[in-house]
Structure 1
Amino acid sequence: MDATGPGNNPDSGPSIVIAGGGTAGHIEPALAVGEALRRRHNATVTALGTSRGLESDLVPGRGFDLRMIDPVPVPRKVSADLFKLPFRVVKAVLQARRVLKDVGAQVLFGTGGYVAAPAYIAARTLNIPFFVLETNALAGMANKLGVRLGGTGLNAVAGSGMPGEVVGIPVRPGLGEDRDGNAVAYAREEFGLADDRRTLLVTGGSQGAASINRAVEEAVPQLIEAGYQILHAYGAKNDPPATVDDFYVTMPYIHDMSGALTVADMIVCRSGAMTVAEVTAAGVPAVYVPLPHGNGEQGRNARQVVEEGAARLVDDSALTPQLLVEQVNEILGDEEQLRKMRSAATRSSTGDVSEQLADRVVAAMF
């Protein structure tokens, strides 16, 4: 391999490139493995990203070097963009090759998204070993391509449609932990929450969810009257809720999701694969409202934890303010139910997947 970057320096750790972009569901598992690589193997970790996703917000905040390439979305219909696709792919692959060579990459770890396909092709042309982690219940095109190109396939759950061992989803260590009581106190201060009310966390994912937003806002008076407080991430592309109350804290996006999960007693949210993994690892009882579009993968993502008793599932079309109030009262208002769901979530924890994958990534160098 023609590379002169830090990976060839015998005094440094290995040089690993992670490639997962677009949504937090692609980015967070890649970062979790990247953090394990730094912690366990003193690795130099570089992240590949595109301008189309959340990389520019999430990656630098976690202390990783971010290198950008052009996004390569695949048009769903025949159009001029479809005929431009081969040229865009070639350009993005050349950009990815330059990054891999510049940092002396020894292994690539990808999790899908716009950045992944060019990264997999670039790694294949440079004879760099690479891993393909599919975190969703149904595999995406980029990851399927990566495995066909010779990448080692890994699946979060069985039956994704992509060959590969089932390993689970890597999550950040310490989610939901508060060993000395300082984490909860800090999170309450950070978000402006009271210390004498149970906290309902609500999020529709990085883009927000209009249906969840509507139901929550209309339910606010009843929930606050019942003695709860609400931390609501409504999504940067949505209008802020008009309701104002001292016990209703709203923001477009929660950057410190670890802190939010630490202080949350319950969550209402979509059921993206990474969201389900993090919420479960944090031991937070959940009501999942799967995205009503697409192939139904969000419902599949939550199926196991629902069966285990750690969460409930509500169809998007069935979500009303009154149903939301009923669900919150049945969980937060019932000490025994809350305890059972927390216990079920803890038993279903994803464990040390990020550490295991980090070790496998490094072993692939030898």
Structure 2
Amino acid sequence: MSVLLAGGGTAGHIEPALAVADALAADPSVVITALGTERGLETTLVPARGYELRLVPAVPLPRKPSRDLVTLPTRMRASIRATRAVMAERSVDVVVGFGGYVALPAYLAARRRVPIVVHEANARAGLANRIGSRFAAAVAAAVPGTGLPHAQVVGNPVRRSLSQLDRPALRGQARETFGLDPDAPTLLVFGGSQGARRINEAVAGAAAELTAAGIGVLHAYGRKNDPPSVAGADGGSGTGARYVAVPYLDRMDLAYAAADLVLARSGAITVAEIDAVGLPAVYVPLPHGNGEQRLNAQRQLDVGAAVAVADEDLTAAMVLEQVLPVLGDPDRLAERTAAARRMAAAPAADALVALIRSVVDRAAGTAS
């Protein structure tokens, strides 16, 4: 089976594709090719995970009248031609799309040639997946209510290092790796791969009081941001708890293993990872778009595994209000953690692989 994975631009499109690639790769007879563009994060993320990446021209869809709209058909045709060349070279049996710039040309290139499987990571489907779902052989979604017809809800695929993570077994190693107190309840903070300024400022402002209360903080502030300026949060209060700031987390498995509570944005992949590892969370949904970030977290909010704070309400005082009562009370932390663990779903990547195989088998049966 030769599979072409189309999902690029942002980590929200790429990470589910890579999680599915890892699950497919368990069968050494499967040939995996990733499709991307030179402007997306896939140029670094895909090769780093050991998969072949083939680049085609990017075709962003203009949101308002412009010169780009006039040239759209020509650019789209060029990208479709390039995609079909890859499909022919790799003898592709199925195209699996995850949205983003590269997905729509892939769907159009595959139409009436090979079957298409669409996966939607967000609570509300993007334009590429809305179009691709119209002629897909199968449609999968992370959550109900995406607006895609006949979508099977399978969850969001996450990498196996997270879906199979044993947090208690790794906790000691994880906290030692980051220089955290091995015994302090620990807050993990991040705002996505680029960080989030409002989260950074609020957490930096609360850091001294958190560590004084015996709470450790592991804060990924983003490579494009300056390190937060924090005074009095070095464990000098005698608690041993430390505030540790890093620009980026290369080992999310260790970061999650070190944590007892997460404060983060609620992008689809972040929510899926936190769901998979069974951690309680404080979400600060990005206030842009059509409100999908809050919807991404709704299931966790409904069962008490998480709470949501509006971006405009996030201050240092709000961080303390949301974190101290949980990490400072073992019983309350245990209750929130139990709710989070009950939410942990079966690995979505395996469900999506089964769906892909069924589509390919069905297509092969029809052809014969």
- Report the TM-score, using the length of structure 2 for normalisation: 0.90
Q: 2:194 & 2:95 partners in 1: Cα distance? A: 28
Task: State how 1:78-97 maps to structure 2 within 5 Å.
Answer: 78-97=65-84
Matched letter for residue 32 of structure 2: V
Q: Please report how far the alpha carbon of residue 227 of structure 1 lies from its aligned counterpart in structure 2 after TM superposition.
A: 1.4
Classify 1:50/1:332 alpha carbon distance in 2 versus 1 (closer, same or farther; 3 Å): same
Q: 2:165 aligns with which of 170, 177, 185?
A: 177
Paired residues of 2:168 and 2:257 also in contact (CA < 8 A): no
Alignment of 1:23 onto 2:10: yes
**Correspondence list, 1:90-169, <5 A:** 90-124=77-111, 127-163=113-149, 164-169=151-156
Q: In the alignment, does 2:307 pair up with 1:312?
A: yes
Q: How much does 1:40 deviate?
A: 4.6
Conserved 8 A contact 2:94-2:360: yes
Moved more, 197-206 or 39-48: 39-48
Structure 1 residue 350 and structure 2 residue 350: aligned? no
Give the 5 Å matches for 1:248-267. 248-267=243-262
Instruction: Say yes or no: does 1:186 pair with 2:173.
Output: yes
The AA in structure 2 aligned to 1:85 is L
Assess, with a 3 A threshold, how the Cα gap between structure 1 residues 180 and 215 changes in structure 2: closer, same or farther. closer
Is the 1:170–1:350 contact (alpha carbons within 8 Å) kept by the matching residues of 2?
Answer: no
Matched residue of 2:333: which SS? Answer: helix
Structure 1 residue 28: deviation in Å?
A: 1.4
SS in 1 for 2:25: helix
Partner secondary structure for residue 245 of structure 2: strand
Partner amino acid, structure 1, of 2:288: H
- Counting aligned pairs with the same residue, the percent is 49
Is 1:33–1:358's contact at 8 Å kept on the other side of the alignment? Answer: yes
1:94: how far off? 1.6
User: Could you give the per-residue CA deviations for residues 84-132 of structure 1, whole angstroms, max 9, x where no partner exists?
Assistant: 222221121122222222222111111101111111111115x111100
Alignment of 1:195 with 2:182, yes or no, is yes
Matched, 1:227 2:214: yes
List alignment gaps of at least 5 residues for structure 1: 1-13
Q: 1:243 corresponds to which residue?
A: 230
Q: Deviations over 1:107-159 (max 9, x none)?
A: 1111101111111111115x111100111111000001111233422121111
CA contact (8 A) 1:169 1:350 kept: no
Aligned length: 351
One-letter amino acid of the counterpart of residue 72, structure 2: L
Q: CA RMSD in A?
A: 1.9
Contact 1:281 1:345 in 2 (8 A): no
Indicate the SS of the match to 1:39: coil
Structure 2 vs 1, CA of residues 40 and 353 (structure 1 numbering), >3 Å: closer, same or farther? farther
Structure 1 180/304 Cα, relative in aligned 2: closer, same or farther at 3 Å? closer
Q: Distance in 1 between matches of 2:214 and 2:63?
A: 48
Shift of 1:217: 1.1
SS at match of 2:297: helix
Matched residues in 1 for 2:192 and 2:39: separation? 16
CA deviation after TM superposition for structure 1 residue 173, in Å: 2.9
Give the whole-Å Cα distance in 2 for the aligned partners of 1:68 and 1:241. Answer: 37
Question: 2:327 aligns to what?
Answer: 332
CA distance in 2, matches of 1:131, 1:166: 13
Q: Does 1:300 align with 2:286?
A: no
Q: Is the 8 A contact 2:303 2:339 kept in 1?
A: yes
Matched position secondary structure for 2:288: coil
